Amino acid sequence: MATLKPGVVTGKDYKTLVAAAKEGGYALPAVNITGTNTLNAVLEAAAKAKSDVIIQLSNGGAQFYAGQGLSDGFQAKVLGAVAAAQHAHLLAEHYGVCVVMHTDHANKKLIPWVEAMLDEGEKFYERNGKPLFSSHMLDLSEETIEFNLGECARILERMAKMGMSLEIELGVTGGEEDGVGSDIDESADNSKLYTQPDDVLQAYDRLTPLGHFSVAASFGNVHGVYKPGNVKLRPEILKNSQALVEQTHSTGHNPLNLVFHGGSGSEKAKITEAVGYGVFKMNIDTDTQFAFSQPIGSFVEENSKAFKYQIDPDDGTPYKKFYDPRKYLRAAEVGIVTRLQEACEDLGSNGKSIAG
């Protein structure tokens, strides 16, 4: 079995990692991070689970990483993403697992964000001989298929020169994430909500000659967590897309690299089924957000006086060791570490790191 050096993986190592997951019948968790606390917690969880992992930033997450105080929001989205990637390049190898650095949904108005990150990526490549990010996503699923694939082809050609991979989206993931996505609308055109195998074949034909890519397919998945019954996952849609490409081009089994968006709150059986159809990446944002915030809530509740007084007004007890932000931020980090280890179990990635 292939082994890779621990740390951020890019280029042919990234392809090896994706292939290993598909062959091994597991998928990697992809977690949206917004700062060093969440990023480090993901690395810690991956190390504990002995799982390789995907770290990603939404445009809003990247802006937050750079700091809400920066007045140029666009610049902050670029700088924050670059800062997070550089942080990961420095630290990830010390956690002993393989880490993919990726950026999440970029719709039509965010194409310039991706292009600006590629400007930075090309400079990084020139200095270091490797890409800054392993991959980026372009989500033009709200546009026509012609526009979607045309732009994806244009961007992928630029990325492929550095050995980077592109994640595209076909069919609309329900729910909304960071201003990208759409409200769940029962009356929406069904063909938009469920990825059409013909579209996937078109994407395969157009992009395969250009470079490495993956497809976020819609099979009833939604962003966010809703009350049971609202989400009906139909993983067989993924199977149909794989089958059409496989039959048309006489490829091997599961030729497409598929991505599962909106994995939070999904049943384990549906996750396992989707992984069997070539899903190598599952995004879990909402569940890890809650896992981070919930322990802070408990900590504040249990130590409420320390969040009102530096010294107890009745008995003079000093509360420094409780309001020190490291106390509750560490509790939050542990929340992610625990939740993400469960996700690795659900995805079958625990104990499967190919870092050697």
Is 199 a known active-site residue? no
Residue closest to Zn ion when measured from CB atoms: 261
Pick the closer one to Zn ion by CB: 218 or 353: 218
Residues at the contact surface with Zn ion, assessed by CB under 5 A: 261
The separation between the first and the last C-alpha atoms of the chain, rounded to the nearest angstrom, is 10
Pick the closer one to Zn ion by CB: 87 or 261: 261
Pick the closer one to Zn ion by CB: 212 or 261: 261
CA–CA gap between residue 279 and residue 153 (Å, rounded): 22
Residue 106 C-beta: closest distance to Zn ion, Å: 11
The residues, any chain, with a CB within 8 Å of residue 104's CB and separated by 6 or more, are 32, 56, 57, 58, 59, 61, 137, 177, 178, 283
**Cα distances (Å, whole numbers) of residue 278 to 5, 177, 188:** 24, 24, 27
CA–CA gap between residue 49 and residue 33 (Å, rounded): 18
CA–CA gap between residue 101 and residue 81 (Å, rounded): 10
Pick the closer one to Zn ion by CB: 47 or 55: 55
Residue 179 C-beta: closest distance to Zn ion, Å: 12
Pick the closer one to Zn ion by CB: 22 or 261: 261
CA–CA gap between residue 98 and residue 315 (Å, rounded): 51
Identified catalytic residue from 13, 52, 104, 139 = 104
Which structure tokens are listed for 4?
A: 């890779």
Residue 283 C-beta: closest distance to Zn ion, Å: 5
Residue 203 C-beta: closest distance to Zn ion, Å: 17
Of 172, 286, 176, 177, nearest to 219 by C-alpha is 172
Residue 105 C-beta: closest distance to Zn ion, Å: 5
Of 110, 34, 31, nearest to 67 by C-alpha is 34
**Catalytic residue set:** 104
